[in-house]
Amino acid sequence: MSALIVEVVYRGIFQKNLAARIARGIVLSARKSGRWGIAFGRYGDSPQRNGIPAKDFAIVADTKEELEQNMARYEPKHTDVTVVLDDTLSKGVESWAWYGLQPINRLTVPNGTVLMTSVQPFEGLLKDIHKRDSPYKLSLLRAKASFSGLWVHKEDHTEARILGALAKIAPNFLTLDGVSQAIQEIEWGSDLKVASAKKAFERLETREIKITEGNSEIPYSFEMPKWWEMREGVTIPAIPIGKPKEGGQGYVPERNPYFKKFTTRTMRPVIDFDTCVKCNLCWISCPDSVFDVMPDGTFDAAMEACCGCGVCEAVCPVEHCITMVNEAAFEDNASQWEMWRKDKAAYKTWLLAKIGDKPTTVRSHGFRFRGQYEQELVADLDQGGVEIAAGIPGENASHKTRHVQGGSSIVTGVAEAPGA
Ligand code: SF4
Ligand code: SF4
């Protein structure tokens, strides 16, 4: 008797429907492959918040008895395959229910597989993925992360491609024929998606990862309080007031010392302190009290606290002063302001390189203009659609936005008047 245990790690809300489709697709593929299967979400992750890492699980077993034995557990402690739907999750995950930061490969069994959608090279990802004390395999499906949201699903074939890749990784449990039949029959399936699954099966790139490879950083963790250390009753203390920065100048707001939030983000703000006009708008608008007021009156985003929502970029009135850049372009959470203070010319060079790199400043989630979705699907579904230079609404986005004239409605597909 044996079983295949799969976890699907995804960004809460943004990829909820995608993860659910994959988990259900695994179960149906298992039945078509002559196996038994079940899928479930991780209870502790609800309610979800935008971007917060969350998990679904799917278990495939040879027999009903084996399946029921696995179902008796609250959640799997080890997984044969870890599916990762956004490569910025390589930096680790911190959800509502876990404490501290968990390496993305933490539950993956020795010689198991981490399956990820990414356009990054293996070496780039291994700078972020934490080292393990046992070897495992890293399998890459060449594609951008697929984001849509709570109410929409992006039909870019990511779910079908993941199922095709799983047939390659675990053929004893999910056959390619079984996966193909399942995709044909499931309500979101089609012949075109079957073809995508088969291509993913053929094109999957896999590399053995040795115990010497990966990020050697010790992940952030903390001790949970013991029950006898907790206060009586249920009280929620007010947020304490913050502290001044060096020399009594500036201000650091008090933040949650345990929940760091940074694994929530797929993009981070890059700030040009030379052009900042000290208007306070980013500081006032940031929903997570991320900005420190610096002694010179500019604002530094504390990277451990930033969830990457992009509001600061949207409200900043100065062009190029705050630019959201893909999280994969960074290797640490160091203070940008300190870097700027140390060497302003070097900071400018660093900043221009970061914000001038089009692939990493492309918006990674949400639809920014009508017709964007259709553009993304124009070609190359194998890559999750064409790369697209889509900015954010508002005046400050003009340098990043490709304005679309006469695009069609996301909902109806019918051509719309410019400006509709
Ligand atoms: S992206 Fe900007 S507004 Fe959003 S949490 Fe980070 S610093 Fe705050
Ligand atoms: S919104 Fe822009 S200009 Fe205003 S304080 Fe923040 S970084 Fe400076």
Residue 71: is its pLDDT beyond 80? no
The CB of 301 under 6 Å from ligand 1? The reply is yes
**Band of the pLDDT at 151, cuts 50, 70, 90?**
confident
Cβ of 318 closer than 6 Å to ligand 2, yes or no, is yes
Q: Is the pLDDT of residue 388 over 60?
A: no
Indicate whether residue 299 lines ligand 2 (CB < 6 A).
Answer: yes
> Which atom of ligand 1 is found nearest the CA of 307?
5
- Residue 3 has which token pair? 């079983």
Residue 11 and residue 120: Cα distance in Å, rounded?
19
| Confidence grade of residue 249 (pLDDT, cut at 50, 70, 90) | very high
Ligand nearest to the CA of 312: 1
Q: pLDDT at residue 420 above 50?
A: no
Q: What pLDDT shows up at residue 394?
A: 47
How far, in Å, from the CA of 352 to the mean position of ligand 1?
Answer: 20
Whether 116 is in the pocket of ligand 2, judged by its Cβ within 6 Å, is no
Cis preceding-peptide flag for 47 (omega within 30 of 0): yes
**Model confidence pLDDT, tens digit, residues 131-150:** 999 999 999 999 888 888 77
Answer yes or no: is the C-beta of 277 below 6 A from any ligand 2 atom.
yes
CB 322 near ligand 1, within 6 Å:
no
Return the percent helix, strand and coil in the chain, to nearest 5: 30, 20, 50
In tens, the pLDDT along 224-243 reads 888 888 877 777 778 888 99
Q: Is the pLDDT of residue 360 over 80?
A: no
Extended strands (E) in 217-274: 267-271
> 417 or 59: which carries more pLDDT confidence?
59
d(CA 219, CA 213): 16
Residue 399's pLDDT is what? 55
State yes or no: pLDDT of 1 exceeds 60. no
pLDDT attached to residue 56: 92
The H helix count followed by the E strand count for the chain is: 12, 11
Q: Is the CB of 51 under 6 A from ligand 1?
A: no
Query: What is the pTM (predicted TM-score) of this model?
Result: 0.86
Q: Are 66 and 58 in contact (CB under 8 A)?
A: no
Nearest C-alpha to atom 7 of ligand 2 is from which residue? Answer: 276
Q: How far is the CA of 419 from the centre of ligand 2 (A)?
A: 29
Higher pLDDT, 382 or 194: 194
Q: Which atom of ligand 2 is nearest to the CA of 281?
A: 1
Amino acid at 351: L
Mean of pLDDT over the chain: 85
Q: Is the pLDDT of residue 406 over 50?
A: no
Most confident of 70-84, 231-245, 280-294, 353-367: 280-294
